[in-house]
Amino acid sequence: MKPIQVGLLGIGTVGSGTFNVLQRNQEEIKRRAGRGIEITMVADLDTDRARAAVGEGVQVVADARAVIANPDIDIVIELIGGYGIAKQLVLEAIAAGKHVVTANKALLAVHGTEIFAAAQQKGVMVAFEAAVAGGIPIIKALREGLTANSIQWIAGIINGTTNFILSEMRDKGLDFATVLKEAQRLGYAEADPTFDIEGVDAAHKVTLMSAIAFGIPVQFDKAHVEGITKLAAQDIKYAEQLGYRIKLLGITRRAAGGIELRVHPSLVPAKRLLANVEGAMNAVVVHGDAVGTTLYYGKGAGSEPTASAVIADLVDITRLHTADAAQRVPHLAFHPNAMSDDLKIVPMREVVTSYYLRLRVADEAGVLAKVTGLLASAGISIDAVLQREADEVGGEGSTQTDLIILTHDTREGTLDDAMVELQALPTVLAPIVRLRKEELS
């Protein structure tokens, strides 16, 4: 059978990795797919770069629409990124009856509902394994491998840049800004790393996992998103002294009132595998009612790791494209007419979790009693308290100290209200630091 023909839009790091891995492993991939898979056309504004990446024998154009218009192309890979032209091109490719493979988590997390509906209507596949956790086959695992389960929760380190920064902050005791500069120098962090460090990239990814896990629409706009820019080196140190590490987690959880969808720095017990994922690596923990807790670990970015996911999608499409569209694996794991409308995203004030609080307080009699008394009257139970020597915190003769409190599970709104009262105490001398803590048990 003649090879299936693929058009590639955007040949940067992931695109050239995809081209190279497809070439290198073409025989084995063909034996798996049942048919050859060939990139025969590439569109990139930088045609010289594209030509250098693919050599002769592949048609290189500057205009992506020429790829979409080519009737010989069966699958379009979108590796442009962003919500702008990429969205138009993906919708145009679908309208032209092409299957689409994309690594664009931002596009799907924000416009997924529109894109998947268009694909459904046209009977084409939109595959996005590369959009979440790079080379880790987490989409496949959630959509197919764990299909027997009622998924209870997912917690993931799904942004390598921030995990690298947090690992360096902990190892070297450095502050956020210093490590960010180093990450940029080493090429881990983009020149504009806003989406990474503000938690937006992780929120795109957890939004997609949430939809697949719980059969709900993609709802990035309802996600709670906090990054790591305000994280202080001293909180990483105190967390360590209490037996925890701080990780930027993407969390989605089945809760009493609906589905939690949140990204924020979290204390994780140091003994958990997730707490020991270091550097730019990614890891996702999924808890299903039948299977229990499962862990997926690997490279979340990079040329060939991400290409590995893109090509897995190409193989899936090659195997399934002649099948009746209704018999294929649904884009978001659940059949479109069986998606749940009544599972709402839980507002943050209703989320129940445990907390780390750091209060800079006057080192004088009765302060601890006042703080713990206030928490007790709000019904917030304390798990642990750590008080540093004033000299250690503020230098010799200091009259201030840090009081660190770990709470048991409490409703976030209850804690918010208690924090307002704590902050108003005259002996609390600086803004209270509040971090969430996830036991992941």
Query: Which spans of this chain sit near ligand HSE (rule: CB under 6 A)?
Result: 159-161, 196, 201, 300-301
Tell me, rounded to whole angstroms, the distance of Cα 60 from its chain centroid.
33
Compute the least distance from the CB of residue 196 to ligand HSE, in Å.
5
Cα-based angle 288, 145, 328 (whole degrees, multiple of 5): 125
Instruction: Name the pairing type of β-strands 352-362 and 400-407.
Output: antiparallel
Which element (helix H / strand E) includes 350?
none
Compute the least distance from the CB of residue 186 to ligand HSE, in Å.
12
Looking at the DSSP bridge assignments, the partners of residue 386 are 404
Cα-based torsion angle of the residue sequence 338, 133, 21, 313 in order, rounded to the nearest 10 degrees: 0
Q: Which two tokens stand for residue 38?
A: 């060939």
Cα-based angle 364, 365, 370 (whole degrees, multiple of 5): 105
Compute the least distance from the CB of residue 412 to ligand HSE, in Å.
27
**CA count, 13 A, side-chain hemisphere, 72:** 10
Compute the least distance from the CB of residue 193 to ligand HSE, in Å.
8
Q: Which two tokens stand for residue 235?
A: 């909180």
Residues in the chain: 441
Q: Which two tokens stand for residue 229?
A: 């820019």
Contact between 148 and 290 under an 8 Å Cβ cutoff? The reply is: yes
Compute the least distance from the CB of residue 434 to ligand HSE, in Å.
25
**CA count, 13 A, side-chain hemisphere, 249:** 29
Compute the least distance from the CB of residue 333 to ligand HSE, in Å.
21
**DSSP code of residue 143:** I
Which residue among 205, 222, 247, 437 is the active-site one?
205
Based on C-alpha coordinates, what's the Rg of the chain?
24
Is 437 an annotated catalytic residue?
Answer: no
**DSSP code of residue 431:** P
Q: What is the DSSP string of 386-402?
A: EE--HHHHH-TT--EEE
Which residues are marked as active site?
205
